Chain A
Amino acid sequence: MTSKTVSSSVYGWVDDRLGLSEMAAFARHKTVPVHSQSFWYYWGGISLFLFLVQCFTGVLLLVYYRPGAEAFESVRQITFVMHFGWLIRSAHSWSANLMLFAIFVHMFSVFFMKAYRKPREFGWLSGMALLGLATVFGFSGYLLPMDELSYFATKVGLEIPAAVPLIGPAIANMLRGGPEVSEFTVQRFFALHVVVLPAVFLPLLGFHLWLVQRHGNAVPPCEEAKPASERKSIPFMPGFLRKDLAMWLISLNILALLASVFPWSLGKQYDALSPAPMGIHPEWYFMSPFEMLKLLGNWLPGEFGEIAGLLLFSAGIVLWILIPFYDVEREAGRRSRAAHYFGLAAVILLLATTAIGYWTIR
């Protein structure tokens, strides 16, 4: 037997059992639309790539990280003792930030292309859930080094659930593992960050990706208005895949550059008795909600303002999540325009409150 007949019989054996040729046929026939807004199609893939980087660098950090009372010491060891530990930690932090940025771009592009409409409602909902989980990943991971900044960030961040009437303090205590942020907090945040969140995130991500295969890429309304004969697309294999991988390579290069040129710093070990450092502020992806709550608090002082702020803020998020059920008509009608303006308002509000937040740090 020649090597060709051997390989084809091995392929036949595996194909009979796993249906490889069906998958290959699916991949061959899969197409991706081409139009002026095609650029935005890459951002889901970029988010996925950065998530894979998170998993990989996270496992490497897990090799030396020790939660609990030794948390700071082990991160100090990773950063200053282990060869290239600083680089792996820096890559993990940078890709976390870049991933959240890519997810935000992906979300807004989906919003403005109205890609959440029938039959893609579940894609939007699962995507929002993934974004929510990603911010919890960010919040829980931020505490793990147990330096000054992470200590105070967690202390302040847990005041938000604590403000919920009646059950708030109990929730905050449950998350903290006691009345104060301590080694118990870092231990449970660690369990959350490396076991619970991945266990929830991965199946949801699988569902999200399966939906993309099932429904294909949505086209924006301007493209949908064209007759079918004027619409263009390219095959997924190899054309779009090649471009997708090129974007991954660009992302990898940007990440490598940022992680090595701007290594993530490690502050002083936390000390429950030392005052909060000057200029402390939330991470950029929490800056906007933080600032909104602060502004509302100034406007409506007291406990009433706090609760009203939380309510208003939650209502906005719920409205955002439920947009596929409000903006349902294909034709450009009043509701469609309203959804568009809602999106614009959200972008302006996010950017403005983030800018005010950074402006007023000092």
Chain B
Amino acid sequence: MPKIIYNDYQGNSKTIEVDNGLSVMEGAIQNDIPGIDADCGGAMACATCHVYVKENWFNKLPKPEDAEVDMIDMAYEPKKNSRLSCQVIVSDELDGLEVTTPEKQS
């Protein structure tokens, strides 16, 4: 099972095994990772599952849809490596993916 590394803004880190096919957001919610709210439940409608993807991983991920990039405009402190974790689907290729949650989601 792929391992996903979730860091928080203070530098705490947790490595979680997440099933293929789940989103990085679902991996966090199911394992009580703090810092991801996911208010809309994964409908790409709220920008409260916003994460920063570690630079070396960012370009390896499938490109975000326009609607996701539009929604990231709404996120708290977006950066160039921002993604919505509900739109990043875990697969074997993403084993070792490292994301950092922002200080807050809203």
A joins B in a complex: no
Query: What residues of chain A have their CB less than 8 Å away from a CB belonging to chain B?
Result: none
